[in-house]
């Protein structure tokens, strides 16, 4: 199934047949190199890891277009981010490189260059992830035998300290937001993401049951509004605090079920950047909370819920996290008081038992131990 022939001085041709029976050939400068190559081909076929040597000649840029075309499952905003990363960071370095020529040490050097630039550690990890996902598809497509980006050491992301507002701070911020007071309270007490608040429709709010259904969200991609499901496609029911019911009733008065609950003063969809520029940033400054972002009100909602006695599962459901483990990863510090409470309840239970039991508590000593 394999052979080596001499073509002339310093030229040897190795021939073999691939798993489909097609004949393949590769030229070498020394016979021992051809022998070694054919041994590797044989072992790869036995391990079902054989890759056609010509399949990896496709450039990263050409394959990147194929990879992007397979990402239809992503949300438009995520897809736009992937495309931006390819254009800014991946293709300038790797675009003309054949897939088979992407070496592990070169990827490691590239990551080091990214770290040395002005990019944050989180951005470096994101850029690396996009390139690695592209190479994963190249492996599954049998263009390269393994992912050369695997195992590259990445910078650690310092966990940013989250900002949690008190009830008083939320109230002062809401008052400073003027006509958008209720919107600020919804973000702070219901834990909605910005796109979920901006996409909330009247028909999704049940004031009698004090529940709202989060089934869609709106995002802005390259200036265009995109409607879709919430992040991670987690449709959920969120409780509405009783004090917000009357405020919401006023905001929704006269609106049809398909109308948006919150809009601009001209009735258009709220856009995050415009809202921050026109309303939120000034309100935050006025409330003494300069630098605050709307997303930090989602953290505040989690904090206020936990302080009110909500357990991790309830917080997970309110925020729409994929799992309780994710909620704990993000907000583990908020549940420290819960751990103290567990210890106190265990202590109280043990004390009650020792008081109520009829049997006296006798210390164990050497004499009693020998009986």
Shared domain for 204 and 107, answered yes or no, is: no
Q: Which secondary structure element, helix H or strand E, spans residue 217, and what is its range?
A: strand 217-221
pLDDT of 239 > 90? The answer is yes
- Give pLDDT, residue 85: 96
Shared domain for 227 and 252, answered yes or no, is: yes
Encode pLDDT of 89-103 as tens digits: 999 999 999 999 999
Shared domain for 105 and 210, answered yes or no, is: no
Q: Kindly state whether residue 366 falls inside one of the protein's structural domains.
A: no
Q: Kindly state whether residue 343 falls inside one of the protein's structural domains.
A: no
Q: Kindly state whether residue 301 falls inside one of the protein's structural domains.
A: yes
**Looking at residues 275-293, what average pLDDT do you find?**
96
Q: What are phi and psi of 291, to 5 degrees?
A: 90, -5
Q: Kindly state whether residue 151 falls inside one of the protein's structural domains.
A: no
Per the CB < 8 A criterion, the answer to whether 228 and 162 are in contact is no
pLDDT of 1 > 70? The answer is no
pLDDT of 353 > 70? The answer is no
Shared domain for 235 and 324, answered yes or no, is: yes
- Give pLDDT, residue 82: 96
- Give pLDDT, residue 298: 93
- Report d(CA 264, CA 109) in Å as an integer: 48
- Give pLDDT, residue 368: 46
The per-residue pLDDT of the chain, averaged, comes to 88
- Give pLDDT, residue 370: 47
Shared domain for 91 and 233, answered yes or no, is: no
**Looking at residues 45-53, what average pLDDT do you find?**
77
Q: Kindly state whether residue 322 falls inside one of the protein's structural domains.
A: yes
pLDDT of 73 > 60? The answer is yes
Task: Say how many domains are in the chain.
Answer: 3
Q: Kindly state whether residue 358 falls inside one of the protein's structural domains.
A: no
Which residues in 34-71 are b (16+ Cβ under 10 Å) and which e? beebbeebeeeeeeeebbeeeebebebeebbeebeeee
Q: Among residues of the chain, what percentage have pLDDT more than 70?
A: 90
pLDDT of 339 > 70? The answer is no
Q: Kindly state whether residue 319 falls inside one of the protein's structural domains.
A: yes
Domain that holds residue 234: 167-333
CATH of residue 64's domain is: 1.10.150.130
Shared domain for 6 and 32, answered yes or no, is: yes
- Report d(CA 100, CA 57) in Å as an integer: 6
pLDDT of 181 > 60? The answer is yes
Q: Is the pTM of this model over 0.85?
A: no
CATH of residue 258's domain is: 1.10.443.10
Shared domain for 177 and 268, answered yes or no, is: yes
Shared domain for 175 and 313, answered yes or no, is: yes
Shared domain for 133 and 179, answered yes or no, is: no
- Give pLDDT, residue 10: 86
Band (pLDDT 50/70/90 cuts) for residue 296 is very high
Shared domain for 229 and 326, answered yes or no, is: yes
pLDDT of 19 > 70? The answer is yes
Listed range (186-200, 237-251, 297-311, 329-343) with the worst mean pLDDT = 329-343
**Looking at residues 272-283, what average pLDDT do you find?**
96
Q: Kindly state whether residue 323 falls inside one of the protein's structural domains.
A: yes
Band (pLDDT 50/70/90 cuts) for residue 54 is confident
Q: What are phi and psi of 58, to 5 degrees?
A: -65, 135
pLDDT of 159 > 70? The answer is yes
Shared domain for 130 and 183, answered yes or no, is: no
Planar angle of CA 149, 154, 158, nearest 5 degrees: 155
Shared domain for 45 and 75, answered yes or no, is: no
Band (pLDDT 50/70/90 cuts) for residue 343 is low
Helices and strands, counts by H and E, the chain: 17, 8
- Positive or negative: CA dihedral 243, 246, 247, 251: positive
- Report d(CA 371, CA 87) in Å as an integer: 81
Report the half-sphere exposure of 76 (CA within 13 A, side-chain side). 13
């Amino acid at each position: 199934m394999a052979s080596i022939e001499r073509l002339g001085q310093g030229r040897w041709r190795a021939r073999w047949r691939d798993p489909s029976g097609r004949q393949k050939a590769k030229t070498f400068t020394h016979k021992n190199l051809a022998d070694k190559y054919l041994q590797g081909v044989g072992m790869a076929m036995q391990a079902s890891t054989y890759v056609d040597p010509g399949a990896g000649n496709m450039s990263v840029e050409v394959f990147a277009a194929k990879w992007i075309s397979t990402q239809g499952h992503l949300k438009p905003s995520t897809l736009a981010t992937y495309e931006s990363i390819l254009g800014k960071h991946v293709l300038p370095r790797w675009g003309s490189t054949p897939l088979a020529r992407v070496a592990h040490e070169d990827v490691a050097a590239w990551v080091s260059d990214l770290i040395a630039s002005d990019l944050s550690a989180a951005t470096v990890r994101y850029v690396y992830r996009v390139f690695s996902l592209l190479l994963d598809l190249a492996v599954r497509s049998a263009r390269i035998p393994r992912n050369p980006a695997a195992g590259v050491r990445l910078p650690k992301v310092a966990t940013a300290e989250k900002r949690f507002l008190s009830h008083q701070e939320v109230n002062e911020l809401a008052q400073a937001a003027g006509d958008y007071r209720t919107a600020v309270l919804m973000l702070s007490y219901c834990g909605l993401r910005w796109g979920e608040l901006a996409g909330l429709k009247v028909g999704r709010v049940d004031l009698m049951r004090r529940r709202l259904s989060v089934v869609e969200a709106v995002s802005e991609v390259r200036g265009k509004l995109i409607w879709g499901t919430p992040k991670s496609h987690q449709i959920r029911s969120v409780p509405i605090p009783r004090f917000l019911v009357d405020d919401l009733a006023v905001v929704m008065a006269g609106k049809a079920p398909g109308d948006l609950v919150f809009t601009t003063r001209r009735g258009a969809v709220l856009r995050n950047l415009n809202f921050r520029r026109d309303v939120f940033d000034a309100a935050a400054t006025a409330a003494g909370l300069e630098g605050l972002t709307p997303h930090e009100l989602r953290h505040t909602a989690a904090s206020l819920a936990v302080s009110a006695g909500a357990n991790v599962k309830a917080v997970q459901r309110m925020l729409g996290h994929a799992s309780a483990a994710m909620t704990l990863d993000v907000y583990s510090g908020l549940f420290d008081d819960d751990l103290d409470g567990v210890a106190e309840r265990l202590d109280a239970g043990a004390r009650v038992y020792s008081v109520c039991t009829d049997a006296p508590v006798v210390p164990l000593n050497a004499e009693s131990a020998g009986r």
